[in-house]
Structure 1
Amino acid sequence: MKLKTLLLPFAALALCANAFAATPSDESLERLYQVQKADLIFDQVFQDSEKMVMSFPQVKEMLANAPESKQRQLKAVMSKYLRQMYAEIRTPAVYAELRQITLNGMKTVYTQKEVDAMIDFYSSPEGQSILNKTSRYMEASVVPVMTLIHKKTERFSQKNLPKLEKDFYQIMCSGKNPAPACPKASNK
């Protein structure tokens, strides 16, 4: 029993150790941002986004449901607007915002020790190799993941949407203050 009493304060200290861990310096965060090639990754994401959007299940379904004679035009219009959108996003001002958001996020989550470890890793040949393959990995996995999630959410929605609508209607239209869109109760 005495051993437990002695170990309890040490266990509490160990659990709180992360709260006292050193906040990463701005210089180390900048270094991590550079070795992770974050700007290039953002650029690659923007370049690949059109292809990814065009392969989303909802877009494929919409195109498949369109008359075959119109599909090429629809794809061209979607591509045009996606390219315009990304051109407006891919500006120095947006990249500066992305950089700041990323640096703030890293500062909030990681300790100095973790940032140093990531700098060491991503500076290595293996780390650089992983970074160079990241966009291919994302391309290979995001669309299948989105397809699976879409199928599962569609199935869930088909099964549960009528129940959800009924529950919403009950909440909105019952009680002393029914929503204006609810039918008026008849005065009998």
Structure 2
Amino acid sequence: MKLFPQLLLIGSCLTANLTFAAPASDQQIQQLLNVMNLDTLLQETIQKIRPQLDQQAYQIVKMTVKKDQLNPQEQIVANELSDKLYAQSQKTVSWDQMKPLYQKIYKEVYSAEEIQAQIDFYSSTVGQSILKKTPQVAQETMALMNTRLMSSMQTTADDFKEINKKLDTLKKAAKNK
């Protein structure tokens, strides 16, 4: 009979490590968002990626008109498209839109201990330095991604030209039957 209490104690010890970490509180998450200055960081990031949005707009117009150089009217349209992309990006990532999403995600993903570790880190000089460089990282990442996407879009357009030729051939063959 003494074996059962011992097994119960051993089982309790083994499962103690499997207990879940405490969830982060709303107050902790708010503190982290404040320390990270996410509202400012988002706006700085959007400002930094403006040149890539401009480039994207010009590429879209160039592909649409199938020209390497845009005439003044086409440049005006590209500028308008760029302004619209920028305004939409600002609206999409406005703090009012993003804050509830960040709160939800951080609460679901991180434990209280992990949130506190982030608060401690981002409160440090090194953490603040890293945060200040985040918009630059986003800008450079976006520039690289745009280059790759534009190349991919051109390849895709070329692929569709080939497929459209084959489809036209099939349509002609079907009409001749």
TM-score in terms of structure 1 length: 0.62
Residues 45 and 134 in structure 2, CA contact (< 8 A), matched pair in contact too: no
> Displacement, 1:158?
5.0
2:22 corresponds to: 22
Residues 28 and 115 in structure 1, CA contact (< 8 A), matched pair in contact too: yes
Question: What stretches of structure 1 move > 6 A for 4+ residues in a row?
Answer: none
How many residue pairs get matched?
Answer: 151
1:122 corresponds to: 122
Residues 46 and 90 in structure 1, CA contact (< 8 A), matched pair in contact too: no
> Displacement, 1:119?
0.6
Which secondary structure state, in structure 2, belongs to the residue aligned with residue 20 of structure 1? coil
CA change 1:154–1:46 in 2 (3 A) is same
1:110 corresponds to: 110
The answer on 1:81 being equivalent to 2:80 is no
Residues 46 and 86 in structure 1, CA contact (< 8 A), matched pair in contact too: yes
The answer on 1:63 being equivalent to 2:66 is no
Q: Which runs of 5+ in 2 are unaligned?
A: 1-10, 168-173
1:1-188 to 2 correspondences below 5 Å:
17=18, 20-56=20-56, 59-60=58-59, 62-63=61-62, 65=67, 67-82=70-85, 84-85=87-88, 89=91, 95-152=95-152, 155=155, 162=163
Identity of aligned residues (%): 21
Which secondary structure state, in structure 1, belongs to the residue aligned with residue 24 of structure 2? coil
> Displacement, 1:51?
2.4
CA shift digits 1:89-139 (9 cap, x unpaired): 289xx5233111101000111111111111111100011001111101111
Q: Which runs of 5+ in 1 are unaligned?
A: 1-8, 167-182, 184-188
CA shift digits 1:137-170 (9 cap, x unpaired): 11112121232244346546755894xxx9xxxx
TM-score in terms of structure 2 length: 0.66
Residues 61 and 78 in structure 2, CA contact (< 8 A), matched pair in contact too: no
> Displacement, 1:82?
3.9
Instruction: Give the Cα–Cα distance (whole angstroms) in 2 for the partners of residues 71 and 156 of structure 1.
Output: 23
Instruction: Give the Cα–Cα distance (whole angstroms) in 2 for the partners of residues 80 and 33 of structure 1.
Output: 29
> Displacement, 1:62?
2.5
